[in-house]
């Protein structure tokens, strides 16, 4: 854990949305807030600079075209003259405008430490779609220039160097002060399962739905299981069609966007949660998702289909790992996992045990230590 800074470190954090006024803050916005809190806890002032970026489908697509600006409002490099470091979260793609901004910042302030966070790496696979391919080409044309200006790349991957630049390894963390542990569910007879996300194909919820269909196709299975999907996203329409086709409307409920209080109520009702089940579709096999951290902070056991980074050296019994492939989730195994946990431990003890694990391993004050030490 880091200690309060005793030097004159002062930074700015470049992000692309105004998180202070966001009506529907997502996990990324919450992460940025938590990272700013980490700097604050370390005694390092860090200002948030909102670099307005394209928000509509049209402007996002237009900005990715050749010879078109990224349409991001990068700050005037002269505004960075008093800072000792700048922390930049990777935008949708690396652009010549970002490189130009970094070059100007370096000329204006030669001692400025420039850090670039790559939330996902490698990321080419998730951009290899018709809608994002132009952005990927622009990214590839510009990212090899990062080594000229970036002092450190912050990454959740195990790579020691990315694009010719030394990395700072971190894992995703959360501000535990803003996440209260869940309450015990009223009943465990019905297994209520929650998944909260902006649903995309790589969340793999279709695998869970297919598993439910197979489970209920066996007439010997009468355990009531309800999957609660909290959130919007590009995959919702196809998931709804999938549920209707398989006649699972009583077992899969779509709640849409849930605010903080609504989501807390869902957590209190549920005794299991679901992390990503389709990361193989992005050629990823180790997860550092914010969602896994939120589940730990809430004190709820969960299902995943890949290794969780923080569990590799600190194994747990409250996470079930399914195969990281395209097979339907084995619901009978999931039921046995659920009942075994709650037969061995009371709900309150299990919640407390999982929350304690979060406090030891994924609090933002711990996960940002390497970054804090570098900029101090």
* Average pLDDT score over residue span 210-232: 95
Q: If 0-12 CB within 10 Å is exposed, 13-18 middle and 19+ buried, where does residue 66 land?
A: exposed
Tokens 């609090």 belong to residue = 363
Structure tokens of 22? 């966001």
pLDDT value, residue 22: 59
Of the CA atoms within 13 Å of residue 266, those in its CB half-sphere come to 25
Q: Do 11-169 and 178-361 show the same overall fold?
A: yes
- At residue 31 the predicted structure's pLDDT band, cuts being 50, 70 and 90, is confident
Q: Does domain 178-361 have CATH number 3.40.50.2000?
A: yes
Class of the CATH-defined domain 11-169: alpha beta
Cα separation, 87 vs 47, whole angstroms: 10
Instruction: Give the tens place of pLDDT for each residue, 116-149.
Output: 999 888 899 888 888 889 999 999 999 999 999 9
For residue 302, CA distances in Å to 96, 178, 204 come to 41, 20, 14
Cβ 94 vs Cβ 143: under 8 Å: yes
| Rg of the chain in Å (alpha carbons) | 22
Residue 5 pLDDT > 70: no
The domains of the chain are located at 11-169, 178-361
Residue 366 CB neighbour total at 10 angstroms: 17
Q: Is the preceding peptide bond at 122 cis, omega within 30 degrees of 0?
A: yes
Is the entire prediction scored with pTM above 0.85?
Answer: no
């Amino acid at each position: 854990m880091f200690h309060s800074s005793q030097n004159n470190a002062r930074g700015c954090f470049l992000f692309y949305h105004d998180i202070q006024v966001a009506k529907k803050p997502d996990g990324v916005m919450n992460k940025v807030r938590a990272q700013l809190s980490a700097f604050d806890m370390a005694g390092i002032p860090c200002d948030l600079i909102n670099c307005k970026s394209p928000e509509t489908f049209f402007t996002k697509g237009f900005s990715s075209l050749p010879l078109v600006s990224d349409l991001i409002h990068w700050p005037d490099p002269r505004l960075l003259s008093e800072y000792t470091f700048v922390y930049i979260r990777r935008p949708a793609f690396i652009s010549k405008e970002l490189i130009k901004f970094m070059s100007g910042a370096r000329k204006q302030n030669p001692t400025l430490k420039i850090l670039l966070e790559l939330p996902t790496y490698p990321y080419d696979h998730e951009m290899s779609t018709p809608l994002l391919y132009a952005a990927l080409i622009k990214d590839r044309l510009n990212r090899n220039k990062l080594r000229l200006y970036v002092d450190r790349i912050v990454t959740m991957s195990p790579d020691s160097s990315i694009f010719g630049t030394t990395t700072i390894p971190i894992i995703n963390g959360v501000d535990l002060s803003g996440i209260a542990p869940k309450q015990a569910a009223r009943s465990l007879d019905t297994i209520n399962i929650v998944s909260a996300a902006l649903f995309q194909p790589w969340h793999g919820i279709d695998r869970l739905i297919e598993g439910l269909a197979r489970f209920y196709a066996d007439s010997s299975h009468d355990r009531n299981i309800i999957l609660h999907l909290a959130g919007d996203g590009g995959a919702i329409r196809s998931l709804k069609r999938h549920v209707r086709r398989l006649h699972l409307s009583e077992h899969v409920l779509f709640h849409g966007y849930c605010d903080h209080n609504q989501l807390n109520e869902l957590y209190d009702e549920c005794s299991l949660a679901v992390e990503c089940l389709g990361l193989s579709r992005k050629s990823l096999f180790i997860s550092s998702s914010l969602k896994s951290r939120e589940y730990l902070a809430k004190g709820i056991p969960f299902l995943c289909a890949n290794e969780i980074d923080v569990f590799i050296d600190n194994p747990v019994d409250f996470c079930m790992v399914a195969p990281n492939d395209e097979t339907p989730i084995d619901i009978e195994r999931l039921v046995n996992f659920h009942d075994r946990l709650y037969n061995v431990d009371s709900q309150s003890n299990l919640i407390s045990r999982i929350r304690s694990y979060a406090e030891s391993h994924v609090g933002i004050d711990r996960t940002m230590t390497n970054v804090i030490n570098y900029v101090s």
